[in-house]
Structure 1
Amino acid sequence: MSAHIVRPYGDTTGDGMVQLSFTLPLPHDKRAEGAALQLARRMGLDPALLVHAKAMGPDFTFFVVYGSTTHLVDVDDVHVVEREYPLLSAKDANLSIKRQLRRKLVVVGACIGTDAHTVGIDAILNIKGFAGEKGLEYYREVRVVNLGAQVLVPDLVARARAEKADAVLVSQVVTQKDAHIHNTTQMSAAFREAYPAGQVPILVAGGPRFEEGSEAALGVDRIFGRGTTPGEVASYLVHEMTRRKAKTS
């Protein structure tokens, strides 16, 4: 097999073994187990083995299946979004902000809609930070306004205008029925309606279920996924601030 063509690894190299979990809207019985195996086979697992089945109430069953996938991956066809800006230390970020703005960079952050999961936004904004990096509150030249959870979009826009925000960070963890997509799209549209063209703050959305490269569809400037550190966000804000300043000068 070519070094650029790969299969998953289970027991031996290239055996294609994978494990999947999913729920079907069927009560747990032999028919439901057969349906789970049929689904697994249609997904490219052959043979497919049922290793776990558990009733989730009277009408649903949770399954875990294990099997060898028939699909291959061509690594040369894998496209990823590369970071186009350097990672800065807190010292360098502060110096850049001070030199270019001659004031503090104002960042407003919130969890919007009904999302009450503040762990992500707090990891980026709070001084305690994440993954050994201190949050944006630690940066001397950044002023952070953390609005917390379940913030309505009109309230977020109003507060951003009142604070004269340079950047707005929103976190979305709840993804049922694509709530994160709807909320973020609504948020970006509201900012573009409330601000004159070219004066919209830097809009950043973060969460574990956003698709890389979906910024244009969502109307935001940047998407950050799971594992993002405060330093990455700070470096991006400096990069985008610099780009905008150069564009208007």
Structure 2
Amino acid sequence: MSSTEQGSVIRPYGDMTGDGMIQVSFTLPIPHDKRAEGAALQLAAKMGMSPALLVHAKAMGDSHTFFVVYGSVSHLVELDKVEVIERDFPLLSAKEINTTIKKTLRRPLVVVGACIGTDAHTVGIDAILNIKGFAGEKGLEYYSEVKVVNLGAQVLVPELVERAREEQADAVLVSQVVTQRDAHIHNTTAMSAAFREAYPAGTVPLLIAGGPRFEEGSSAVLGVDRIFGKGTTPSEVASYLVHAVAQRAGDATTRPTAPQEQQ
């Protein structure tokens, strides 16, 4: 029976349709022995896996063990309750992006990018900014009407703010891969607060954060304009920048001015 015939309720698929089989991995702070394996199965049972099969256990140093457990759960997925953040801007070609920037700004669009805090993983930011790009697409350096300033890794927030001001950045892109103890959330929130403190109201550059562990729809909570997750391509970022810059320009031209006092 297809998911359409069932309505909007489905179950995980393992060996056969509707068997509810899933596989999970986790680490416990305990040396690898029979007691540790029993603890892993106890945890799996409390997670609702029944029966649960321990398929892999490996010591991680002297005091931790990594496990993989396979088993069945009774939980259902209600598809009509799944919330999806839809893209609210059109994907543009490189020619359309350059043309729109020329028409809207009449100068190059300036983008400053960096990995902030202690994050040294530049693969993500380089994939978006560098001309070699990602997934067969050229990075933002490829666009003739985009000026890219890539500051690299482990950039302190005050340094990022200062450089953005020097370059008169239209947008600031930060990449966060390290997520231990929610470092990506803390760093992004601190970055947003620093920019809003350093810039007059209404003049803060577009603030964009990207990384594999950001939650879709969390931009307002983090104080940024946009969140991009894993699999994002350079053309998506470029198209969003053009959309957001054009929207800001339109807001500026249509914003009512304060009425002058009569003489």
Instruction: Name 2:217's counterpart in structure 1.
Output: 213
Deviation at 1:118, TM superposition (A): 0.4
> What does 1:238-249 correspond to in 2, within 5 Å?
238-249=242-253
Moved beyond 3 Å, runs of 4+:
none
User: Counterparts of 1:137 and 1:59 in 2: how far apart (Å)?
Assistant: 47
Among all aligned residue pairs of Structure 1 and Structure 2, give the percentage whose two residues are the same amino acid: 78
Per the alignment, in what secondary structure is the counterpart of residue 72 of structure 2? strand
Instruction: Name 2:61's counterpart in structure 1.
Output: 57
Deviation at 1:81, TM superposition (A): 0.5
Instruction: Name 1:232's counterpart in structure 2.
Output: 236
Q: Which amino acid aligns with 1:48?
A: A
Q: Deviation string for 1:115-168 (max 9, x for gaps)?
A: 110000000000000000000000010000000000000000000000000000
Q: Which amino acid aligns with 1:162?
A: E
Per the alignment, in what secondary structure is the counterpart of residue 190 of structure 2? helix
Q: Deviation string for 1:85-132 (max 9, x for gaps)?
A: 000011101000000100000000000001110000000000000000
* TM-score of the pair, normalised by structure 2: 0.93
Per the alignment, in what secondary structure is the counterpart of residue 46 of structure 1? coil
User: Counterparts of 1:23 and 1:223 in 2: how far apart (Å)?
Assistant: 29
Stretches of structure 1 lacking an aligned partner (at least 5 in a row): none
Instruction: Name 2:188's counterpart in structure 1.
Output: 184
Instruction: Name 2:157's counterpart in structure 1.
Output: 153
Instruction: Name 2:92's counterpart in structure 1.
Output: 88
Q: Are 2:177 and 1:173 aligned?
A: yes
User: Counterparts of 2:67 and 2:249 in 1: how far apart (Å)?
Assistant: 53
Deviation at 1:3, TM superposition (A): 3.3
Structure with larger Rg: 2
User: Counterparts of 1:95 and 1:184 in 2: how far apart (Å)?
Assistant: 31
Q: Is 235-244 or 159-168 further displaced after alignment?
A: 235-244
RMSD: 0.8
Q: Deviation string for 1:23-56 (max 9, x for gaps)?
A: 0011111221111111111112111110111111
Per the alignment, in what secondary structure is the counterpart of residue 86 of structure 1? coil
Instruction: Name 2:119's counterpart in structure 1.
Output: 115
Count matched residues: 249
* TM-score of the pair, normalised by structure 1: 0.99
Stretches of structure 2 lacking an aligned partner (at least 5 in a row): 254-263
Instruction: Name 2:18's counterpart in structure 1.
Output: 14
User: Counterparts of 2:122 and 2:15 in 1: how far apart (Å)?
Assistant: 39
Instruction: Name 2:145's counterpart in structure 1.
Output: 141
Deviation at 1:60, TM superposition (A): 0.6
User: Counterparts of 1:37 and 1:70 in 2: how far apart (Å)?
Assistant: 17
